[in-house]
Copies of this chain bind each other. A is one copy, B any other.
Amino acid sequence: MIKVGVAGYGTIGQRLADGVAKQKDMELVGVADLAPTLAIRALKEKGMPYDLYLVDGADQSKFDELGIPTAGSFEDLCGKVDIMLDSSPGGIGAKNKEIYQRLGVKAIFQGGEKNSVADVFFHGYANYEKGLDQSYLKLTSCNTTGLIRTVDCLDRKYGIERVAITIVRRVADPGDYHRGLTNALQLEQAPTHQAVDLMTIMPHVDATGILVHTPVTHGHFITVLATGKQKITKEMALEAFRAHDRIRVVRLEDGFLGNASFFKYGRDLGHERGDLYEVGLWENSIVESGNDIMYGIHIPQESVTIPESIDAIRAACHMQETREAGTAETNKYLGLGLWKK
């Protein structure tokens, strides 16, 4: 039983903990954080399903006042686990790495850290084998994770040479007040980093793209124009997408009108926090452009990286030898792909 800890109990950290807790071949030892945030208060109100450890700089007395039990220090947690999922705020992960190295514990970093923090820039479907037995892996960010799922899906079946993307980025998560945008679309310098990151993971693909921020919270939207080694028709693309356990092909006529429909659907499904792990892919968006194929995807930014993060544990700890076996095990425990059956 692989023992796992989570550093940082924020938007991603909470979901990493929830996701690991569902893996029957892993044990979630605990989570670590700094302050009694709403997420920690909720953890207490739920009866502390996970143990809480305090990172350096935390004020124990604030937790005591609130009656929130704590289980020890961040180093205590690190000492009990085989691997840490590090979803600390950007930059902190690099500092934590010193502790991980000293204590000989492996770690998976999230997209906010620099690539240099890790030995491998990882994606469960695209380069699982590169992560085997490695000590420090860094996950792709939310947009890149979802994007690569779909590009890798086409690439393995038909071969992909080039992608050009447009990212319509949600600017904040539900409940964020520290960042926001009001009645504006904000542009960033092109090419967008997600295209650059895709090329790091899939070096045989030429990628570029443009990103624009938009004032919504329920998921990014990406259009992808992809050039295959052969002509990929709409039917061929659909066949590949439908067979993928982390892609949910949907239709406008069924009620999936936009990004908020996925959010609603996740809630209606009774999923914890209303989350979906799949990217959404609209059948209605797929069009052929000359020899290229174009399609639009929905990226649930809060939860999309969770499956690939768990894949990373499987690779780093050599729990499964191949991407097929590793991702299948993650999918089984997260219930991915079940809805097609």
Q: CB-CB contacts of A212-254 with B at 8 A, as 1s and 0s?
A: 1111111101010101000000000000000000000000101
Give min CB distance, A326 to chain B, whole Å.
Answer: 25
Q: For the complex, is A57 an interface residue (Cβ under 8 Å from B)?
A: no
Q: For the complex, is A140 an interface residue (Cβ under 8 Å from B)?
A: no
Q: CB-CB contacts of A271-287 with B at 8 A, as 1s and 0s?
A: 01110000000101111
Q: For the complex, is A182 an interface residue (Cβ under 8 Å from B)?
A: yes
Residues from chain B with Cβ under 8 Å of A254 in the complex:
36, 38, 41
Q: For the complex, is A292 an interface residue (Cβ under 8 Å from B)?
A: yes
Residues from chain B with Cβ under 8 Å of A189 in the complex:
252, 284
Give min CB distance, A9 to chain B, whole Å.
Answer: 10
Provide the main secondary structure of the chain A interface. mixed
Q: CB-CB contacts of A55-90 with B at 8 A, as 1s and 0s?
A: 000000000000000000000000000000000000
> What's the tally of chain A residues with a CB closer than 8 Å to chain B?
82
CA distance A38 to B264 in the complex (A): 8
Residues from chain B with Cβ under 8 Å of A213 in the complex:
258
User: Is the Cβ of A259 less than 8 Å from the Cβ of B185?
Assistant: yes
Which of chain A's residues 174-208 have a Cβ closer than 8 Å to chain B? 174-177, 179-191, 206, 208
Q: For the complex, is A256 an interface residue (Cβ under 8 Å from B)?
A: yes
Give min CB distance, A320 to chain B, whole Å.
Answer: 27
User: Is the Cβ of A214 less than 8 Å from the Cβ of B185?
Assistant: yes
Q: For the complex formed by this chain, how many copies does it contain in all? A: 4
Q: For the complex, is A12 an interface residue (Cβ under 8 Å from B)?
A: no
Residues from chain B with Cβ under 8 Å of A182 in the complex:
171-172, 176, 180-183, 215-217
Q: For the complex, is A130 an interface residue (Cβ under 8 Å from B)?
A: no
Interface-located stretch among A23-31, A100-108, A150-158, A162-170: A162-170
Q: A185-B260, A206-B290 are in contact. List 15 more A-B contacts (CB 8 A).
A: A41-B254, A42-B268, A162-B290, A164-B164, A174-B183, A174-B264, A184-B257, A184-B260, A185-B218, A186-B258, A187-B258, A190-B294, A208-B289, A209-B287, A212-B296
Closest 6 pairs (CB-CB, A-B):
A175-B264, A42-B268, A180-B180, A186-B258, A184-B260, A166-B166
> 21 A-B Cβ contacts within 8 A?
A38-B264, A38-B265, A41-B265, A42-B268, A46-B269, A172-B182, A174-B263, A175-B184, A175-B264, A181-B182, A183-B183, A185-B214, A187-B296, A189-B284, A190-B284, A190-B286, A208-B288, A208-B289, A208-B294, A214-B216, A267-B274
Binding site for B on A (CB under 8 A): 14, 36-39, 41-43, 45-46, 162, 164, 166, 168, 170-172, 174-177, 179-191, 206, 208-210, 212-219, 221, 223, 225, 227, 252, 254-261, 263-265, 267-270, 272-274, 282, 284-290, 292, 294-296, 339
